Amino acid sequence: MADFLLEIGLEEIPARMIAGAEAELGRRVGELLTRERLLGAGGKVTTYSTPRRLAVRVEGLALAQPDTEEQLVGPSWKVAFPNGEAGPAAVAFAKKAEVEVSALTKITTVKGEYVSATVERKGRTAAELLAAELPKEVLSIYWAKNMYWRAGKPERFVRPVRWLVALLDSAVVPLEIAGIAAGNQSRGHRILHGDSPVAIGAPGDYPEALRRAFVEADVAARRHKIRKTLDHVTRAITETPGARWREDEALVDTVVHLTEWPTVLYGSFEAEYLALPEEVLVTVMRDHQKYFAVEDVQGKLAPHFLTVLNTQVDDEGRAIIRHGNERVLRSRFKDAQFFWETDQKIRLEDRLELLESVTFQKELGSYAWKTAKNVEVAQVLAARLKANGVVEFDETALLSAVQLAKVDLTAELVKEFTELQGVIGGLYARAQDLGETVAEAIYSQYAPASTDDGIPSTIEGQLLGLADRMHTIVAMFGIGNAPTGSKDPFALRRAANAVVKILAESLLPLTLTNVISSVQGTEEALLHVKAFLEERLSFYLKDVYGYAYDVVNAVLAANADDVQDAVMRAQALTVVRGSEDFLAISAAFKRMKNILHQASEKGEKIPKHGVQVSLLVQPEEYQLFTVSGDLAAEVDNLREDGNYVGAFEVIATLRPVVDAFFDKVMVMAPEPELRAARLALIQSVLDGFSGIADFSEIVVG
Amino acid sequence: MAPVPLTFQELLFRLQKFWADRGCILQQPYDVEVGAGTMSPETFLRVLGPKPFRVGYAQPSRRPADGRYGENPNRLFKHTQFQLILKPPPVNVQELYLESLAAIGIDLSRHDLKFEEDNWEWPAGGAWGVGWQVMLDGLEITQFTYFQQCGGLDLDPMCAELTYGLERIAAFLQDVDSIYDIVWARDPETGNVVTYGDVRLPEEVQFSVYNFEFAEVDKLWEHFRLYEAEAQTLLNKAGALFKQEDADVREKKRFPLLAAYELALKCSHLFNLLDARGAVSVTERVGVIARIRALAVGVARAYALQQVS
């Protein structure tokens, strides 16, 4: 058994791509070696990465593939051996198979007798195989964006490959990738170690040899060190007793992939900047500088930050680096403050006319136009809600919020921090005393930004979010910008996901039809949008809530308009679907549906209204008629109360009756009238119970 | 005692010397308004074709919309880039770059340096590349790009483009909070200093006023149209000439594509001015960029043909 190591040395790989590439390298190498019978169940694949390298170590590798015997099949025996003597076909086949003619044998297959040769296949050594196959695997790694670097050479990779280490135990494997020949020399940290090569004696020495050269190649170890040091350094912030770094998993991930030898230091900024909104401060620190924010025991932002360095310095160096980082942050905050103050010179209301020159969509109009449309939609929704009277809201505040929702697009601060649109508008509305309801609605208009983000906390915010997105979706569909396949350049799926999520998780008594019909649009566009939203609802139930696809199909086949109701029905159906009676009744409903389908294919007329009871002749069918009628009434009552689990349980009690029916009754009776009566009966049973869910969609067994 | 940090002009001298010593031609700034060093023909056109080329030049880059009337300590309408093209890049280009930092007095063992992904793109020029922003103690000091395409053409060989932000680096080295406080030059005898503000503040103020308040939108559009038409006429003639198989090689070589490119650059600057005046709606923006792109890409294509003729 041998131990193998491959390290690909690169110029700095984008942080966001490293984890995926590291995993893919491990998978590709593992699969290659398994496929080539060099790696069995006892083997172990370990991967490493830093910004400048991807590496994989394989333990328990066979030094060579086992030799194998392969049976080759040639021409038919009669052709090869006419009259029992070897003819030209036999000679040719033997030559191709590299055996003597005398070694050819006869095999019998279903197609007849054929010539066969048994050949020995010598296994390749691990070194040969790796040298031949590994480069292709490495160059096939997927990168979100790659480049070429050698003149006239076809290879594309994320960044130029600069060195390679490939060791089988302590021997170099002679492989080459993009013109670089493998050796046993790696490189250490750019600054802390410098240019001198780092010799790797054997695969097992790899992580330790790199550690001596100030590179921690084990990603988990680096992450652990960063977290621990963040904790440790935060405790040193004596100016803010009880300080904590603000947990930010995505940022931890980023700095893990930006460093080879991480250390942490903290810096401070002038407390006056705390007068800027926290959202702005955190965005500058996190998104622009990759700093962790620090908060005090109350969770309020403190005037400090933590930065993860890719080096290790003495006290003097630390002072220099801290000073530098503080300078940068101060100038960024000063910028933000400048924008904030400049923006305040124009009140939000006065920005409305500026929206005339901000285009919403070329074919449609400006954001001033968009705002007017949003107001119209919001008015329709408001009128409907008032008529329903289920929830209370402040209509005046809602309409002001809709009116002012987009004006922050003209603010300097939003031009600088586009990720804060809406948030900035809300903050300005608050600063300008436009009322908390208005401010909060504007602030949260883009929530939820993703399926795991929360919905706006107020009715007004929810309505603003719905009106804006529904108008956008309908208008975009109207000009042919609906998403297709994987293309969704206007993020309409995300908008529709948010609509569904708001309808599902708010108290708003609105259906999909309600929100769609609140927007002006051609009938065709509205129908198209309806199907689109239903598809998003299905996605939401399956992928966000995790309901089984057949449950979702059953629920939506019955009714896909009331989102909250669909969620409740999916929930109830999930609870009951496992019971034996329920599965049996689902199977029975499916059978009924099939019978009806086949009958109508054959041109049978299925009476839609009423069962001719007098025509039913067998006790089982009469019983199905009466029991199902009674149960349907009971189910209706339970549905009214929203007790869907109860309703499903009642439906399941129909099982013995249905079983008896199918045991004894032949629906497709030869007499036309009887046949029609029976078809009408099962149609009415299906109709009576399919309002909550179409059980025929449930997959049994 | 810590060494006295480089003045603004010494910083430029050092970079120029460093790269000249490594085989780069030193060029002077291009004397037409550009938004970035990349747009100088020393980059935009020279990166095309197979001929190796190494050049460095300091390029004033004008971005009218970034003007702040000299009131913001960190933003300028015109800043200075030291632009470097290494075609093809040496394999140790990153190491050379780090040496250049040492040459301007940055002791990397005392600083934190990271190469963070930052890809570069100039859509109107059909140009893009992948690369990094080089972060020194949290400050972006250089854009390092492996240029992949220019004028819509694949580059073979590709090249490395290093763009040093001189004001930022100088403010960092001198540890000043405002660009205007950067020491531009120091009299070796008296020790008297001339600051960046002394040299450039009036320009920042007056051009902010012009760009935001006085530039006449109608005139700008008119200039745009005139330059565009002239560039287009040249491109049409170039198209006809380069299609002719029996055309005189000399005629091709002397065809004034460089002039066509200058006209395209003027259009680009006029567009930026119109933008600063708030005269370009988002709708129009796409269209105008497409018009500039047609010129820039047109020149690049013709230029590539001219090089092989």
H or E stretch covering B259 = helix B257-276
Spell out which residues of chain B touch residue A149, defining contact as CB-CB under 8 Å. 89, 146, 158
Between the CA of residue B115 and those of A159, B136, B184, what are the distances in Å?
Answer: 12, 9, 28
Task: Note the residue count of chain B.
Answer: 309
Annotate A399-459 with DSSP letters as a single string: HHHHHHTTGGGGSHHHHH-GGGTTHHHHHHHHHTT--HHHHHHHHTTT--SSTTSPPPSSH
For residue A342, give the nearest of A404, A228, A424 by alpha carbon. Answer: A424
Is pLDDT of B281 > 70? no
Between the CA of residue B167 and those of A3, A559, B171, what are the distances in Å?
Answer: 52, 64, 6
Closest chain A residue by Cα to residue B71: A338
Closest CB from B72, B113, B139 relative to A328: B139
Average pLDDT over residues A77-84: 86
Is pLDDT of B285 > 90? no
Is pLDDT of B251 > 60? yes
CB contact under 8 A, A362 and B114: no
Average pLDDT over residues A389-412: 94
pLDDT of residue A501: 96
pLDDT of residue A692: 87
CB contact under 8 A, A334 and B139: no
Q: Are A361 and A476 in contact (CB under 8 A)?
A: yes
pLDDT of residue A490: 86
Q: Residue with structure tokens 């990779």?
A: A157
Annotate A124-153 with DSSP letters as a single string: PBHHHHHHHHHHHHHHT---SS-B--STT-
Report the residue of A196, A254, A327 to disrupt the B interface, i.e. the one with the largest count of B CBs within 10 Å: A327
Spell out which residues of chain B touch residue A335, defining contact as CB-CB under 8 Å. 72, 74-75
A and B: number of Cβ contacts within 8 A? 118
Q: What distance in Å separates the CA atoms of residue B12 and residue B59, rounded to the nearest whole number?
A: 11
Q: In 10 A of CB A676, how many CB atoms?
A: 19
What residues are paired with B60 via a beta bridge? Answer: B80
| Residue B22 three-state SS | coil
Closest CB from A162, A192, A325 relative to B137: A325
For residue B92, give how far its alpha carbon lies from the nearest alpha carbon of chain A (Å): 9
Please indicate if any CB of chain A lies within 8 Å of the CB of B263.
no
Q: Which residue has the higher pLDDT, A599 or B173?
A: B173
Q: What distance in Å separates the CA atoms of residue A132 and residue A386, rounded to the nearest whole number?
A: 73
Q: Are B35 and B62 in contact (CB under 8 A)?
A: yes
Average pLDDT over residues A670-692: 86
Q: What is the pLDDT of residues A518-554, one digit of tens each?
A: 999 888 888 999 999 999 999 999 998 999 999 999 9
Q: What is the pLDDT of residues B29-70, one digit of tens each?
A: 999 999 999 999 999 999 999 999 999 999 999 999 999 999
Average pLDDT over residues B98-102: 97
Q: In 10 A of CB A549, how many CB atoms?
A: 13
Please indicate if any CB of chain A lies within 8 Å of the CB of B174.
no
Q: What distance in Å separates the CA atoms of residue B291 and residue B300, rounded to the nearest whole number?
A: 14
Q: Are B79 and B165 in contact (CB under 8 A)?
A: yes
Q: What is the pLDDT of residues A266-278, one digit of tens each?
A: 999 999 999 999 9
For residue B217, give the nearest of B287, B279, B281 by alpha carbon. Answer: B279
CB contact under 8 A, A190 and B98: yes
Query: Residues 191..250 of B with a Cβ closer than 8 Å to A: which?
Result: none
Q: Are A12 and A31 in contact (CB under 8 A)?
A: no
Average pLDDT over residues A627-639: 89
CB contact under 8 A, B73 and A331: yes
| Percentage, residues of chain A above pLDDT 90 | 63
Closest chain B residue by Cα to residue A311: B112
- List for chain A the helix, strand, coil content (%; round to 5): 55, 15, 30
CB contact under 8 A, A320 and B111: yes
Q: Are B300 and B235 in contact (CB under 8 A)?
A: no
CB contact under 8 A, A357 and B278: yes
pLDDT of residue B262: 97
Q: Residue with structure tokens 């696809």?
A: A549
Q: How many CA atoms lie within 13 A of A605 on its CB side?
A: 5
Query: Exposure of A218 by Cβ count < 10 A (0-12 exposed, 13-18 middle, 19+ buried)?
Result: buried
Q: What distance in Å separates the CA atoms of residue B261 and residue B304, rounded to the nearest whole number?
A: 13
Q: In 10 A of CB A136, how many CB atoms?
A: 11
Cα Rg of chain A (Å, integer): 35
Please indicate if any CB of chain A lies within 8 Å of the CB of B121.
no
The tokens describing A418, both together, are 């586009």
In which band, very low, low, confident or very high, does the pLDDT at A167 lie, cut at 50, 70 and 90? Answer: very high
Is pLDDT of A672 > 90? no
Average pLDDT over residues A337-359: 88
For residue A152, give how far its alpha carbon lies from the nearest alpha carbon of chain B (Å): 7
Q: Are B83 and B37 in contact (CB under 8 A)?
A: yes
Q: Are B47 and B145 in contact (CB under 8 A)?
A: no
Q: Residue with structure tokens 């599965």?
A: A583
pLDDT of residue B2: 65
Q: In 10 A of CB A443, how many CB atoms?
A: 26
Give the β-pairing of B53-62 and B25-26.
Answer: parallel
pLDDT of residue A701: 61
What single DSSP character describes residue B213? Answer: I
In which band, very low, low, confident or very high, does the pLDDT at B1 lie, cut at 50, 70 and 90? Answer: low
Query: Exposure of A671 by Cβ count < 10 A (0-12 exposed, 13-18 middle, 19+ buried)?
Result: exposed
Give the β-pairing of A365-366 and B25-26.
Answer: unpaired
What single DSSP character describes residue A608? Answer: -
CA A628 to chain centre: 44
Please indicate if any CB of chain A lies within 8 Å of the CB of B72.
yes
In which band, very low, low, confident or very high, does the pLDDT at A673 lie, cut at 50, 70 and 90? Answer: confident
pLDDT of residue A480: 87
CA B129 to chain centre: 15
Report the residue of A311, A318, A339, A340 to disrupt the B interface, i.e. the one with the largest count of B CBs within 10 Å: A311
pLDDT of residue A600: 84
pLDDT of residue A48: 98
Spell out which residues of chain B touch residue A195, defining contact as CB-CB under 8 Å. 95
The tokens describing A407, both together, are 């004006």
pLDDT of residue B114: 97
Q: What distance in Å separates the CA atoms of residue A563 and residue A572, rounded to the nearest whole number?
A: 14
H or E stretch covering A53 = strand A53-61
| Percentage, residues of chain A above pLDDT 70 | 100
pLDDT of residue B282: 60
Q: Are A173 and A7 in contact (CB under 8 A)?
A: no
For residue B10, give the nearest of B142, B174, B143 by alpha carbon. Answer: B174
> Which residue stretches of A14-101 are H helix?
15-35, 77-80, 88-97
Closest chain A residue by Cα to residue B99: A191
φ, ψ for residue B147, nearest 5 deg = -65, 125
In which band, very low, low, confident or very high, does the pLDDT at A570 lie, cut at 50, 70 and 90? Answer: very high
Between the CA of residue A247 and those of A231, A251, A295, what are the distances in Å?
Answer: 10, 9, 10
Average pLDDT over residues A78-85: 85
Q: What is the pLDDT of residues A25-72, one digit of tens each?
A: 999 999 999 999 999 888 999 999 999 999 999 999 999 998 888 888
Average pLDDT over residues A379-390: 93
Task: Note the residue count of chain A.
Answer: 701
pLDDT of residue A586: 87
Annotate A178-192 with DSSP letters as a single string: TTEE-BSEE---TTT
pLDDT of residue A695: 84
CA dihedral angle for residue B272, residue B278, residue B284, residue B287, rounded to 10 degrees: 0
Q: What distance in Å separates the CA atoms of residue A116 and residue A656, rounded to the nearest whole number?
A: 62
For residue A357, give the nearest of A399, A402, A406, A289 by alpha carbon. Answer: A406
CB contact under 8 A, A309 and B112: yes
Q: What distance in Å separates the CA atoms of residue A153 and residue A433, rounded to the nearest whole number?
A: 63
Q: Which residue has the higher pLDDT, B235 or B4?
A: B235
Q: What distance in Å separates the CA atoms of residue A109 and residue A93, rounded to the nearest whole number?
A: 18
Report the residue of A190, A273, A318 to disrupt the B interface, i.e. the one with the largest count of B CBs within 10 Å: A190
Average pLDDT across chain A, whole number: 92
| Percentage, residues of chain B above pLDDT 70 | 98
Q: Residue with structure tokens 């020029």?
A: B125
Closest chain B residue by Cα to residue A261: B112
Is pLDDT of B309 > 80? no
Average pLDDT across chain B, whole number: 94
